[in-house]
């Protein structure tokens, strides 16, 4: 099937990352996760295929520290965001929080995930599954950011609108990430048919 780069951002919907990862793997996709620092408040990188030693599997879950490993760059060192961009057939950001949505629209590249997006081959699909509070979703800035991303990516951009339900903050309204089955279905719709 496809090589799916699953971006995970700082929305409470990141608690579903392990399940979404499993769903995509079960559908036959090769999946790697790139998590932002704020996603780690909701998502435990050790919950997805840890090594036999109980450590994070760096081949499956990528963090900012893998992009900037704490030592001075030497020519020939891997450039993680470029390697991941080359590897992936599709970039799926689920959940996509308001902060990351704004960064993508404005071209800000201050973490591994936003660097991947900025270096993305715009002939390949990008799928966003926003998840945020209702008032954040309905804010005029969100509409501007989505309009800008549509202008930038054109037909490569696919937005899976959030759904209405009781949110983690106890508000009831639109803003919850789409159901995992819907995300998996929409992913299958943007991929080319298998050979």
Q: What is the per-residue pLDDT for 195?
A: 64
Backbone angles phi, psi at 91, to 5 degrees: -110, 115
Q: How far apart are the first and last CA of the chain?
A: 10
Positions marked catalytic: 81, 169
Cβ proximity of 158 and 165 under 8 Å: no
Report all structural domains of the chain as residue ranges with CATH numbers, in order of start: 3-69+89-163 (3.40.50.1950)
Question: How far apart are the C-alpha atoms of 152 and 13, rounded to whole Å?
Answer: 26
Q: What is the per-residue pLDDT for 166?
A: 87
Cβ proximity of 69 and 133 under 8 Å: no
**pLDDT tens-place values along the chain, 195 residues long:** 899 999 999 999 999 999 999 999 999 999 999 999 999 999 999 999 988 999 999 999 999 999 888 778 888 888 999 999 999 999 999 999 999 999 999 999 999 999 999 999 999 999 999 999 999 999 999 999 999 999 999 999 999 999 999 888 888 999 999 999 999 999 999 997 776
The pairing of strands 90-96 and 61-62 is unpaired
In what order do the strands lie in the sheet containing 157-159?
A: 61-62, 30-35, 3-8, 90-96, 126-130, 157-159
Cβ neighbour number for residue 155 with a 10 Å cutoff = 10
3-state secondary structure the chain: CCEEEEEECCCHHHHHHHHHHHHHHHCCCEEEEEECCHHHHCCCHHHCCCCCCCCCCCCCEECHHHHCCCCCCCCCCCCHHHHHHHHCCEEEEEEECHHHHHHHHHCCCCCHHHHHHHCCCCCCCEEEEECCCHHHHCCHHHHHHHHHHHHHHHHHEEECCCEEEECCCCCEEEEECCCHHHHHHHHHHHCCCCC
Cβ neighbour number for residue 140 with a 10 Å cutoff = 7
């Amino acid at each position: 099937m496809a090589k799916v780069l699953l971006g995970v951002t700082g929305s409470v919907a990141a608690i579903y990352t392990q399940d979404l990862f499993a769903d995509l793997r079960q559908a036959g996709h090769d999946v790697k996760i790139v998590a932002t620092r704020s996603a780690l408040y909701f998502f435990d990188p050790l919950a997805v295929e840890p090594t036999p030693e109980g450590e994070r599997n760096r081949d499956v879950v990528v963090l900012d520290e893998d992009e900037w490993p704490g030592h001075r760059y030497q020519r020939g060192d891997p450039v993680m965001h470029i390697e991941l961009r080359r590897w992936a057939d599709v970039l799926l950001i689920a959940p996509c929080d308001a902060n990351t949505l704004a960064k993508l629209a404005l071209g800000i590249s201050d973490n591994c995930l936003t660097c991947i997006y900025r270096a993305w081959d715009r002939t390949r699909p990008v799928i966003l599954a926003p998840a945020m509070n209702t008032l954040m979703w309905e804010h005029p800035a969100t509409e501007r950011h989505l309009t800008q991303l549509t202008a930038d990516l054109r037909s490569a951009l696919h937005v899976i609108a959030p759904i209405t339900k009781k949110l983690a903050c106890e508000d009831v309204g639109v803003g919850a990430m789409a159901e995992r089955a819907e995300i998996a279905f929409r992913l299958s719709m943007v991929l080319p048919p298998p050979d």
